Amino acid sequence: MPWTSKHLKWLVKTEGKLTTADGKTIEIWEFRHEKDEAILSAWAKHFRNHYCLDTEIDDLRNGTPCSRAEYLNQIKFPDDSHPPGPSIRAGDFGEVLIADFLQYVLNFWVPRTHYGNKAVRNESTKGCDVIGFKFVGNGQNPKNDMLTIWEAKTQFSGNKANPRLQDAVNGSAKDFVRKAESLNAIKQRLLDKLSRDEARKVERFQNPEDRPYRETYGAAALFLTSLFENRMLSSTDSSKHPDPNNLSLLVIHGETMMDLVHDLYRRAASEA
């Protein structure tokens, strides 16, 4: 399998917590990445397969003059230097890390279908950022099954902190409307790959009126540590969110994050 969770050992929950303007708690995590070649290589493979499965890359590049690395760098991955490529890289990285957090820390099933069908590499994928599913009790009490929808925003460069957690909250407020389209997109991509059993898992969540389940939301902001600013985070207000009582708030910060992002893409291409 191409997937790994080894890099999440670098994700450390801190003792510090912040409170928003409307009294919600923000969890603070730190990403303490290291120069561990084995983990970085496994993570690069994991990351690459979000855009293009290793089992499909040769079929996809056939007919082009591209090597595997050239195909990934020129057709699949956001550009490393020309705007808006770097910001798209940071955004995609943040969404994938939150998907990993949901799957390997919070124990949701997160289908990895979000980036493979990008028509334009230097654009963000439309719809909800990350969707996770959880089946409780082997179907004995399906009302306890869970759907969670998260928005992720990043800031890994600049000299002044931006209100990225507020941006994530505002984005999350739109997810109730985008949910049906995003669930359909995941299901369609799974059917395209003939993953019918997984498509049926998604299908279970498409009709909450007849088959109710628990629904939660999340807003996450990922920062370069030097841009982590308590005052701005504490000014976040989720009171206008359509379901603030079921909204989780998360901040992750780390050193040299944009360098890490570019290194991960470089490894993902060169080791394909």
pLDDT score of 139 more than 80: no
Give me 65's structure tokens: 């003059």
* pLDDT number for residue 104: 98
Mean pLDDT along residues 233-261:
97
Mean pLDDT along residues 195-213:
94
The overall average pLDDT reported for the chain is 95
* pLDDT number for residue 157: 95
pLDDT score of 125 more than 90: no
pLDDT tens digits, one per residue of 29-47: 999 999 999 999 999 999 9
> E strands within the chain?
11-19, 25-31, 130-134, 146-155, 214-224, 247-254
* pLDDT number for residue 122: 92
pLDDT tens digits, one per residue of 59-79: 999 999 999 999 999 999 999
Residues 125 and 151 sit within 8 Å (Cβ to Cβ): no
With the CA atoms of 11, 13, 16 and 17 taken in that order, what torsion angle do they form, in degrees rounded to the nearest 10?
100
Q: How far apart, in Å, are the Cα atoms of 235 and each of 24, 26, 64, 116, 167?
A: 11, 11, 50, 36, 12
The region that residue 219 occupies, defined by phi over 0 for left and psi between -120 and 50 for alpha, beta otherwise, is: beta
* pLDDT number for residue 117: 82
Mean pLDDT along residues 224-249:
96
Residues 90 and 25 sit within 8 Å (Cβ to Cβ): no
DSSP 8-class letter at 113: -
Q: Which residues, in sequence order, are CB contacts of 218 under 8 Å at separation 6+? A: 98, 102, 148, 149, 150, 151, 172, 247, 248, 249, 250
pLDDT score of 140 more than 70: no
Mean pLDDT along residues 103-132:
93
